[in-house]
Amino acid sequence: MHHCACFAPPEGAGKGAGEGAGEGAAARAWRLFVSKPAQKKANQLKTKIVVNKKKKEENVKRKIGKSVEFKSSAKYKLIEDLLEGYPYTSLPVPAQSIQREPFMLLKGRVKGQFLNGMELPFGLIDPIKYELLKLIGRLGDPFKNLCSHSLTPRLLIDSLFKNQAEITFDELCYRLEYKRKFLMPSYTDVFLYEKELLWQQWIAVRNLKEVSPETPENDHERVHKILQADETTMPIVMIRVNREISNQGVHPAILKMFFNFLNVEKRPGTLNRDYALLKLESIMRKLKNRDFLEGIKPDYIYFMLNEQAKDAFASYNQSEFDRSYQEALNHNSLKQNLLSQNATYKKERRIFSERTKKALMKFYEIQPPSFFKEYVKKKEANYQVIHSKINRMITSKYLQRKRRREDILAGRLTPQESPPADGAPAEEAQPRRKKKKKKRK
């Protein structure tokens, strides 16, 4: 049997250990011969592994240092002092257990004759809880057009602040009420009964009948079911209720309360982006039993803001709000009047400039002489004469070429004997020599 010399053990390597410690130490180890490129590649890989390991260790140390430095900063300590013992890190147990399926209780029991009012919820929901529902529906991550999920701080702050570092109270109200639409909160136990109540009220006040959105088994041509005039489906009801509540807006006291909730610096009329994000992120990190990549649930937001909302409603001054609202209304009406007056002024100025231009152009008008028409007629007659001469010349040239072509085809004239084209002399038919340039002295 042939053995490769590369893998053969050196002499003396197979001796037993009993032959002496000196001989065992003198025995050479196994040796594997590797090509130089392979050895170079292996060394590069070893170096890369060592470098990557050192980089990872440095990154871990840097992250730990940053977290320690951030936690020791004044901004973090300010947030920690505010959040001491707050918010509810675990949901409190309600006094009475909420029914898991409230639609079984409300199905067919909400009648339109008992609903008094012009809009939802017809006075059947606590005002503070209903206003918090409208606020929470605007804060959650939207799942258009059906519902909203838990609040993700970064998405909410980006939506409210855009690319600004600070915003005012008016900008917050505008972006919260007009730019963010209301969507019914999902995965909630606090508003489980109110959601179904609002849906059933919308159906009852319009004397509609809820049917299944699924098409019958024998209908394979349609995706959506064809509804009668008095029928509706739950997805349609959910979208319409969201739209109606979104048009109602949020109570001014709740908006002011939410502004003060995010305003860590307590600066009047100005909200800082960094502090608002840091506060919401700190609240989210403290929550217990939070799923992976989940934000702040609607129930947590309700329990955090419930007491503050009650205080805001108790201290709300309707007369002061009416006065500020009237001032804003007067300012907007004055602005609209100025814009309309400016548009009217521009229109009148444009008409005046056109009239002035026409009046000035009369000074530059020249009355033509009495014989001008005769002059124009003679000029047109001369043009016609010139055109007729040009046409005769073109026609004669065409006839000459046609006659010469016919003579060549009939054999009466050879191409060499044919006269030069266009009556040019024979000397010009020869190629011209280039004139030599005279050298200047």
Q: How much is the pLDDT for 6?
A: 46
Model confidence over 262-315: pLDDT tens digits? 998 888 889 999 999 999 999 998 888 888 888 999 999 999 999 999 999 999
**Using an 8 Å Cβ cutoff, are 144 and 138 in contact?**
no
Work out the average pLDDT over 155-181: 93
Other CB atoms within 10 A of residue 227 CB: 14
Residue 230 and residue 204 in one domain: yes
pLDDT for residue 339: 92
Q: What percentage of the chain reaches a pLDDT higher than 90?
A: 42
pLDDT over threshold 70, residue 345: yes
119 and 196 in one domain? yes
From CA 152, how far away is CA 141, in angstroms rounded? 7
What is the per-residue pLDDT for 400? 92
Q: Same structural domain for residues 167 and 257?
A: yes
Residues 58 and 144 in one domain: no
User: Mean of the pLDDT values across residues 174-185?
Assistant: 94
Query: Would the pLDDT of 84 be above 60?
Result: no
User: Which residue range(s) make up the domain with 77?
Assistant: 53-82
Q: Is residue 330 part of a domain?
A: no
Residues 62 and 206 in one domain: no
pLDDT at site 166 = 94
pLDDT per residue over 13-51, tens digit each?
A: 444 444 444 444 445 555 666 677 777 777 777 787 877
Query: The tokens 């909160």 sit on which residue?
Result: 185
Report if residue 268 sits inside a domain: yes
Distance between CA atoms of 317 and 147, rounded to whole angstroms?
Answer: 33
Residue 130, pLDDT > 90, answer yes
Residue 343 lies in a domain: no
Does 277 reside within a domain? yes
242 burial type by CB count under 10 A (0-12 exposed, 13-18 middle, 19+ buried): buried
Cβ(15)–Cβ(23) below 8 Å: yes
155 domain residue, yes or no? yes
Find the range with the poorest average confidence among 151-165, 351-365, 427-441.
427-441
Residue 403 lies in a domain: no
Do 204 and 62 sit in the same domain of this protein? Answer: no
For residue 25 the two structure tokens come to 């130490």
Q: Are residues 152 and 60 in the same domain?
A: no
122 close to 216: Cβ distance less than 8 angstroms = no
Provide, rounded to the nearest whole percent, the portion of the chain with pLDDT above 70. 76
Mean pLDDT, residues 158-185: 93
**Rounded to an integer, what distance in angstroms lies between the CA atom of residue 272 and that of residue 347?**
44
Q: Does 72 share its domain with 113?
A: no
Of 198-207, 229-238, 360-369, 413-422, least confident by mean pLDDT is 413-422
Give the span between the Cα atoms of 154 and 293, in whole angstroms.
12
Q: Which of 255, 288, 315 is the last residue of a domain?
A: 315
pLDDT for 34 equals 64
My answer on whether 74 and 130 are in the same domain is no
- What pLDDT score was predicted for residue 218? 76
HSE-CB for 265 with a 13 A CA cutoff: 15
**Do 163 and 61 reside in the same domain of the chain?**
no
Torsion sign across C-alpha atoms 258, 264, 270, 272: negative
End-to-end CA distance of the chain: 102
- Tokens for 392, please give them: 């005769």
Identify the pLDDT of residue 422: 52
Do residue 68 and residue 210 come from a single domain? no
Q: Tokens 């209908």 — which residue?
A: 219
Question: How is residue 57 written in tokens?
Answer: 């260790």
What are the pLDDT digits (tens) for 218-264? 777 777 788 889 999 999 999 999 999 999 989 999 999 999 999 98
Distances (CA, A) of 298 to 134, 140, 283, 303: 11, 8, 13, 9
Strands (E), 80-145: 142-143
CA distance 299 to 55: 43
Of 11-25, 79-93, 368-382, give the range with the top mean pLDDT.
368-382
Radius of gyration from C-alpha coordinates of the chain: 47
Instruction: Pick the last residue of a domain from 264, 299, 315.
Output: 315
Q: How many distinct structural domains can be found in the chain?
A: 2
Q: How far does CA 14 lie from the centroid of its chain?
A: 75
Average pLDDT, the chain: 81
For residue 87, being part of any structural domain is answered with no
pTM for this entry: 0.59
Cis peptide bond prior to 216, omega within 30° of 0: no
Region 371-389: what's the mean pLDDT?
89
Q: Which helix (H) or strand (E) holds 298?
A: helix 298-314
Same structural domain, 78 and 108? no
pLDDT of residue 219: 72
- Boundary residue ending a domain (270, 294, 315): 315
Rounded Cα gap, residues 143 and 347, in angstroms: 47
Residue 97 is predicted with a pLDDT of 45
pLDDT tens for residues 308-333?
Answer: 999 999 999 988 889 988 998 999 99
Instruction: Inform me whether the pLDDT recorded for 398 exceeds 90.
Output: yes
Q: CA separation (Å) from 26 to 16, 18, 22, 77, 211?
A: 12, 14, 6, 68, 94
